[in-house]
Amino acid sequence: MAQPPENHIRTTEGHQVQAVQVLQTSREGSKTSVEVLETSLYTFREAQISLARYKGGIVPPSTLRRWIVQLGIESDDFGCYSKEDLTILARLVFWLKRGKTVQTFAQIIQKELTTNGN
């Protein structure tokens, strides 16, 4: 089984979850303070929860999976999505709130990616 990236941990159940990177630690007497830096990778569940803020409710797993397929978004080797992927999905939520379709949004995103040379 592949090892998770440094900024992930594997639970005893075999699931990989996002962890935080320790940016700096300092020790004063018996107190230790840790400054953390958020990672830029999200599990499917974390993406689902994040999108709920924009949608006004949880995005059903089947709906999120369908959007991911329709937009051609792929997870990394550990099943995680990038911050850029999450931004595209959040934009989709706002697009759908305007009464537009996923297909039209996918065409716009494709055009943007082509224009930007990605």
Q: pLDDT digit string (tens) for 79-106?
A: 999 999 999 999 999 999 999 999 999 9
Question: Is the overall model pTM greater than 0.85, yes or no?
Answer: no
Options 1.10.1660.10, 3.40.50.300, 3.40.220.10, 3.40.228.10; which CATH number does 41-115 get? 1.10.1660.10
Give 19 or 5, the one with higher predicted confidence. 5
DSSP string, 10-69: E-TTS-EEE--EEEEEEEETTEEEEEEE--SEE-HHHHHHHHHHHHTSPPPHHHHHHHHH
What are the residue ranges spanned by the domains of the chain? 8-37, 41-115
Nearest to 72 by CA among 55, 56, 89: 89
